[in-house]
Amino acid sequence: MRIDAHHHFWHYVAAEYDWMSDAMSAIQRDFLPEDLQAELSDVGIDGTVVVQARQTETETRWLLSLAERYTVIKGVVGWVDLRAPGLRKRLEGYRGETKLKGFRHVLEGESTPGYMLDPAFVAGLRTLNELGYSYDILIRSNQLPEAIELVQRLPAMRLIVDHLAKPDIQHRAWDDWCDGLTQLASFANVHCKVSGMVTEADWSAWRAEDFEPYLEHVFRVFGPQRILFGSDWPVCRLAGQYGAVYRLVQDFVRRRYPNDEAAVFGDNAAAFYRL
């Protein structure tokens, strides 16, 4: 199976998606499974993992309901308040939801230094791990030092970095991101999604070669067996259509890692998320 390991659905309500700035008007509308189906067919994607975009359990339940109706959705990464009292009981309420594979929190949006190192947050992650769930780490490159410290506290957990930790590709930021990602990759339980790149570049003028050094570094430090392709649709539409985003990664893999295309575009996702 070929898998898109990272995309979103939503019913757009401005107050609930305050992370969408005025510059993001192109995605300020509903995006639902019917909108994605043709995109997947065009590039031969067989299944997907849908990821939370709001920090509510209502959305998690809604995504699970979509997964029941649309067989193309193989896994759901939801949201739960990891610091809430009674977290284990809350998670037990999802027992039987076989397509719920993991959770995510929008750590990139947290302005409080050390948020992800809060003892209650770390304890919540350990509870997820005990119950068999994975965790998506959504950060910007300036949060890499905290993420490294977090990972050190979770040696047995399945963890994955979303969007290459969001390097500033438009301005060719490199050193801090490069060093931080290398350290994260040194932990064998950490994987990485090749996703969200085009929206970190110049939305209207990026070229494939802009991403080459970033892709080379990610593949070098993680290895192709710990890398998953994700479209980040529909957010990617701010800077490129689904097919363009897909081919950007596919062309790189076929040139540099031709024997690992099946892994990057499916096998790794199936193993990591236990699809």
Q: Does residue 252 contact residue 215 with C-beta atoms inside 8 Å?
A: yes
Kindly give the residue spans of alpha helices, DSSP state H, lying in 44-191.
57-69, 87-92, 119-130, 144-152, 175-185
**41-76 pLDDT per residue, tens:** 999 999 999 999 999 999 999 999 999 999 999 999
- SS3 letters across 151-174: HHCCCCCCEEEHHHHCCCCCCCCC
User: What angle, 0 to 180 degrees and rounded to 10, lies between the N-to-C axes of helices 175-185 and 212-222?
Assistant: 20
Q: What confidence score (pLDDT) does residue 21 get?
A: 93
pTM: 0.97
* Angstrom distance (rounded) from CA 59 to CA 65: 10
Go through the chain and tell me how many residues it has: 275
Instruction: Tell me the pLDDT of the chain (275 aa) as tens digits.
Output: 999 999 999 999 999 998 999 999 999 999 999 999 999 999 999 999 999 999 999 999 999 999 999 999 999 999 999 999 999 999 999 999 999 999 999 999 998 889 999 999 999 999 999 999 999 999 999 999 999 999 999 999 999 999 999 999 999 999 999 999 999 999 999 999 999 999 999 999 999 999 999 999 999 999 999 999 999 999 999 999 999 999 999 999 999 999 999 999 999 999 999 99
**121-162 pLDDT per residue, tens:** 999 999 999 999 999 999 999 999 999 999 999 999 999 999
* Angstrom distance (rounded) from CA 168 to CA 174: 8
Q: What is the CATH number of domain 3-272?
A: 3.20.20.140
Give me the chain's average pLDDT, please. Answer: 97
Percent residues over pLDDT 70 in the chain: 100
The domain ranges of the chain are 3-272
Q: What confidence score (pLDDT) does residue 99 get?
A: 98
* 135 φ/ψ angles, rounded to the nearest 5 degrees: -140, 130
